[in-house]
Amino acid sequence: MKIVINKCWGGFNLSTAGEAEFLRRGGATADSWEIERTDPILVEMVEEDSSLYSGDSARLSVVEIPDGVEWYIHDYDGQEHVAEKHRTWA
């Protein structure tokens, strides 16, 4: 499975060109916060040209993980990584 994440401080967002291209390719919304990180259109765009489609405070990248893994995106001040879900007690 391929997942788009942000690899720098700031936060996940698309550039104006990225939002327009996402809609042009058939995406349902241009609002970065509503786009599924596994959306095939988004993944394709970032693989093609991440620098063009990354927003002002983003450096988008595609991470590939094995199918069937329960995952989540961990965010620290906008910089993200994908982690496997597990049980935690405090």
Tokens of 83: 């982690």
Over residues 9-38, the pLDDT tens digits come to: 999 999 999 999 999 999 988 788 899 999
Alpha-helix runs per DSSP H in the chain: 16-24, 40-53
Q: How far apart are CA 65 and CA 2, in angstroms?
A: 6
Residue type, 26: G
Other Cβ atoms less than 10 A from the Cβ of 6: the count is 23
pTM for the predicted model, two decimal places: 0.92
Residue 87 confidence (pLDDT): 78
Domain boundaries, given as residue ranges, for the chain = 2-84
Over residues 30-78, the pLDDT tens digits come to: 788 899 999 999 999 999 999 999 999 999 999 999 999 999 999 999 9
